[in-house]
Chains A and B, each alone.
Chain A
Amino acid sequence: MTNSADTIDKAAAEDTVVVAYPAPLLRIDTVTRRFGAHIAVDGLSLDIQAGEFFALLGPSGCGKTTLLRMLAGFETPDEGRIALNGEDIAAVPPHRRPVNMMFQNYALFPHLNVRDNIGFGLKTAGLTRAGIDERVAEMVALVKLDGLEKRKPDQLSGGQRQRVALARALARHPQLLLLDEPLAALDKKLREETQAELMALQRQLGLTFVIVTHDQDEAMSMADRIGVMKDGRLQQVATPRRLYEAPASRWVAEFVGDINMIEGDIRVRDAHRLTIEGRGVGTLFAVEPREAVSGDEVCLAIRPEKIRLSRRGLAPGLNHSGGMNSVEGVVSDVGYLGGRSIYRLKLDYGGMLRVALANTARLDVDSYGIDERVTAWFTPDDCVVLPR
């Protein structure tokens, strides 16, 4: 993580004010783009800091690719400004922007070999012939393609082609590198390796990366901050941790990762604690969120791994009067996933709860079986209260 993201995150958690905000490298200001009647990007504003690894995450059709293309220059915003280092670049054509893109299908020139592909952008970069050769050699070493310079794209493997595409995009030392679904075409093993390499590269070069992806795991593991988009608008911009543990809306909570939702009404607001009357569930306790919830209709969100199970009811001390949340139910389904198991509980009041428990012991001594009666319990701190 970069310092700026860390600082912002901690500051947000502690509710302190950060005095010095570095000026953003990229400022997207109320940008809108329409295609006929369809609004692809809707009044979107976003700041991206220099040296950040930023991810645009969202379902297909949410406008993330359109936004990326606007940054690259292949689309122009209908409204709003895009400023790079304070200068408006919305009208600058793509070949004059200090921004480069790594295309989803790599778009390697089939008639040129690796070296000419990488050096393609340098011919208009004002370097001498020697300078170009030097830069190309530098890039080849950076992405570890030594020895393959003379090959044509059809003679390379998928992973190798990706490196060429990356080297080509980095060759001009852009201020901003855009990556369009960079890992989509790779198989799982290669994907994990490439993720690590991309992160290392970004840190090493100190560049700003913006990637577009629909894959949550990709965004969460690589990015310093993630912008979740839906229907052309940003739903939340936060670090991966904050996005997961403190989602801003019900939609974000359900989009990122797995979650349980219990609907209810706030009965008591007391200091920083809320007492919620869950529908049929009974009384539940939660911590007041940073942004106070207006109205009393809420959803209590709890992640499956934050819930614990017990066969014989709560131990003394861990009960209602102690402020702990608990519900009773019966195991209806067990999904064994190797490292963990997902238990689906049919609760007494009628709802369903998903609980994720790590399988910490190899020998199956004590796991819960179907139709077994259990108590599920979770702390108020682990819940998130969201407007319904």
Chain B
Amino acid sequence: MSAKSLFSAPARRMAIAPYVWMVLFFLLPFGFVVKISLSQTVLAQPPYLPVFDLSGGMAGLRDAFAALSLDNFRALLADHLYVASYLRSVVVAFTSTVLLLVVGYPIAYGMARLPRRWQGVAMMLVIVPFWTSFLIRIYAWMNILQHDGLLNQVLLALHVVSAPVVWLSTDSAMYLGIVYSYLPFMILPLYATLAKLDPMLLEAAADLGVSRANAFWMVTVPLSWRGMFAGALLCFIPIVGEFVIPDLLAGSDAMMIGQTLWLEFFTNKDWPLASALAVVLLGLLLVPLLVYDRVQRRQLEHR
């Protein structure tokens, strides 16, 4: 027994309520997603069959189980549309993550080099937009990027272009929106790692004849890989399933998987197919999710 253990018994008991909640409202729903993905669409309420309903007794349940099938998954793989959607999502997420790294790293680096008193303020400044409505921020860009919006006005005034450029409903606008929204997710872990970097290391490099530019690539970047990794995962995984940004800013020819899911669910009312899409998406993300969980756990233990 030790002081630690005197606390752990009551502390453990506190886990019960949140645990039960999460099992009920997080784990259990996934079971439903899987089950629905194996069902068929019907024009009814709820719009799927079979419905597991105990009124039919054991026989009823057995019949219901028999009615489950992998039809939805077959349809998914057969139709080029869906596969293309998944591919596009992964490509967009990957590209965005790279862009986020390129844009976020200098900012995080600058923050880490600020005098100590200003670093707290800087972090606050980065977090505030994050806490401000996500939708609003995307909308703000719509404002600026529209045909007669501010960006075109400025460009026309500066004679950079002779006619208004179409910004909205393009992939460029979508990438801009994604980078804009996810920047705090990339900056914060990067900044946390960079702030812990010992400046003596760079001084030692200079003392050994390494130029500042080279020292950056040879010392700073390798030592910050953990922050980069955390930031990359924190961005990549949710971007794959993004819906709002591509819906508002991107063109309508190619859709990301989030949009496809939404379409199937709300417009086509095909719940089983949407569920199948979700299951496959989850499967795709399983590996990055597990990696993220492992990284997260190790971060906590290091504290």
Contact = CB atoms under 8 A, between A and B. Distances in A.
- A–B touching in complex (CB under 8 Å): yes
Contacts of B1: 75-76
A349 interface: no
A280 interface: no
Nearest to A91: B1
A94 interface: yes
Interface string A59-75: 00000000001000011
Interface string B1-37: 1110010000000000000000000000000000000
Interface residues on chain B, size class: under 10
B2 A75 contact: yes
Interface residues on chain A, size class: under 10
A351 interface: no
A46 to B, nearest CB: 21
A201 to B, nearest CB: 27
Contacts of B3: 69, 74-75, 94
Nearest to B4: A74
Contacts of A93: 6
B28 to A, nearest CB: 40
A330 to B, nearest CB: 44
A75 B5 CA distance: 10
A36 to B, nearest CB: 13
Interface in A77-122: 93-94
B2 A76 contact: yes
Contacts of B2: 74-76
Nearest to B2: A75
Nearest to B5: A76
A327 to B, nearest CB: 49
B3 to A, nearest CB: 4
Interface string B171-197: 000000000000000000000000000
A93 B6 CA distance: 8
Contacts of A74: 2-3
11 contacts: A69-B3, A74-B2, A74-B3, A75-B1, A75-B2, A75-B3, A76-B1, A76-B2, A93-B6, A94-B3, A94-B6
Given A74-B2, A74-B3, A93-B6, 8 more contacts: A69-B3, A75-B1, A75-B2, A75-B3, A76-B1, A76-B2, A94-B3, A94-B6
Interface of A: 69, 74-76, 93-94
Interface of B: 1-3, 6
